[in-house]
């Protein structure tokens, strides 16, 4: 019996180690990548969601949030999600639309009348239908949409009406909807690495740019621009997307829990972004920028004469469905 005991102890040790490995294997480790700074509300939402998901999964789903483009650039995220080199990401609607064009519906200039219209869209069957279409085509899982902010124009000289944009050297991101905004107003769209924008504005190589006011503030563009024109030509959103492989590794109950946590925390973020926009406007006024309202109808009419949502990839009938939301009671 004595000669057997060491082997028995060894067997117990192996069994214990095997159990530990099995428990460890049951923990799903995920990386959530994004391009925003740690101080941003989007990073805060991701951290909040990660804590809630860890709690509600009894520690079986652990999410590491990786900020500031450390995992890559946003344009690379859909592929990285698909090949499982990251598992969750914030991806802008214009980038998502490169893989599923009907999502460009919400990026069409002046598609939304106001913030209430955006709120209705975020909670609508129309967006749920578009998300389903994206999921089916990409294989990834878009589980929620977050309000990113209204894109406004800043410039070195005053702008008030569509004709003021003629030949204006206007920075816009390299995405179809933003390019359309510039070309429909006869501006000269300029695309360059975002990190170079400040210096290009400072040197006068670019006269104007468009971005949410939070970006104007965080990148200190108020130092090289004098005017803000409140066009709100695009109310931007971000998709929260989970990669195909990561989604498949979750049990159905876990999928439902994760989806609910992400949708709930997205609502918290939406409120914060809207409040932040009002604060940003006051901040920029305090920095000496002239902030002006605009007759959006004049711009909408010009855009509508030059283009259609369908040219950006919107499905027939979707734009009418989107406009009907503006007057709905929900």
The answer on pLDDT for 21 being more than 50 is no
pLDDT digits (tens, 9 = 90+) for 244-260: 999 999 999 999 999 99
Under 8 Å between Cβ of 168 and 229 = no
First to last CA, the chain: 77
Average pLDDT, the chain: 92
Query: What confidence score (pLDDT) does residue 218 get?
Result: 85
**Which residues lie closer than 8 Å to 116 by C-beta, 6 or more apart?**
326
CA distance 314 to 303: 15
Q: How confident is the model at residue 221 (pLDDT cuts 50, 70, 90)?
A: very high
Q: Which residues pair with 268 in a beta bridge?
A: none
pLDDT digits (tens, 9 = 90+) for 169-179: 999 998 888 99
Q: How confident is the model at residue 147 (pLDDT cuts 50, 70, 90)?
A: very high
Under 8 Å between Cβ of 258 and 53 = yes
Query: What confidence score (pLDDT) does residue 26 get?
Result: 86
**Which residues lie closer than 8 Å to 74 by C-beta, 6 or more apart?**
34, 35, 89, 90, 91, 92, 95
SS3 category, 315: coil
């Amino acid at each position: 019996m004595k000669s057997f005991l060491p082997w028995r102890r060894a067997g117990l040790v192996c069994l214990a180690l095997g159990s530990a490995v099995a428990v460890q294997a049951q923990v799903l480790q995920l990386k959530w990548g994004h391009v925003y700074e740690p101080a941003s509300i989007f990073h805060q939402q991701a951290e909040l969601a990660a804590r809630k998901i860890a709690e509600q999964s009894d520690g079986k789903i652990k999410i590491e949030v990786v900020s500031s483009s450390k995992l890559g650039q946003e344009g690379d995220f859909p592929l990285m999600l698909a090949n499982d080199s990251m598992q969750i990401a914030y991806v802008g609607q214009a980038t998502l639309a490169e893989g599923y064009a009907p999502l460009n519906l919400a990026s069409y200039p002046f598609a939304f009348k106001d913030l209430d219209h955006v709120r209705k869209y975020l909670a609508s069957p129309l967006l749920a239908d578009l998300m389903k279409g994206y999921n089916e085509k990409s294989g990834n899982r878009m589980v929620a949409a977050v309000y990113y902010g209204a894109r406004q124009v800043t410039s070195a000289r005053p702008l008030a009406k569509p004709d003021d944009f003629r030949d204006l050297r206007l920075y816009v991101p390299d995405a179809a909807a933003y390019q359309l905004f510039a070309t429909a107003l006869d501006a000269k769209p300029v695309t360059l690495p975002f990190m170079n924008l400040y210096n290009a504005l400072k040197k006068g190589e670019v006269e104007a740019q468009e971005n949410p006011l939070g970006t104007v503030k965080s990148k200190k563009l108020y130092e090289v621009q004098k005017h803000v024109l409140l066009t709100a030509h695009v109310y931007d959103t971000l998709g929260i997307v989970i990669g195909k492989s990561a989604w498949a590794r979750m049990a159905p109950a876990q999928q439902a829990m994760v989806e609910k946590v992400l949708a709930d925390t997205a609502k918290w973020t939406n409120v914060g972004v809207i409040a932040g926009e009002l604060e940003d406007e006051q901040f920029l006024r305090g920095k000496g920028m002239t902030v002006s309202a605009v007759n959006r109808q004049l711009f909408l009419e010009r855009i509508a004469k030059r283009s259609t949502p369908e040219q950006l990839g919107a499905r027939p009938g979707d734009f009418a469905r989107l406009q009907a939301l503006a007057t709905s009671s929900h």
